[in-house]
Structure 1
């Protein structure tokens, strides 16, 4: 892993950590989650002003539903 990799930087700054038991999952620490929320709020404001509407969908679905949707 590169010294400037976001996973290294986040860990060094105590923003989040990752665990072998949950590959790809991020465990946010308080300062990191505050930063995450600030970026998320900024993006939401920009998207709203641009006329976009937010939707939320499940993160895990049956493969058949994904295939039926045309992906």
Structure 2
């Protein structure tokens, strides 16, 4: 599963790139509630969606996400 490394770092990247949570979710092809659940640690994110988001925000995977193994 892929999770958010740091909610604060994720939000900082969103805002520094001029997006709102809602706008980023729309651009990434997901609902705002799903993205909020990912940020809150309630849901993981697919590798495909994580790649889309890091492309939109022009960051590296390791800046925002981590792989969680159980």
TM, length-normalised to structure 2: 0.26
Greater C-alpha radius of gyration: 1
Q: TM-score, normalised by structure 1?
A: 0.26
Greater helix share, structure number: 2
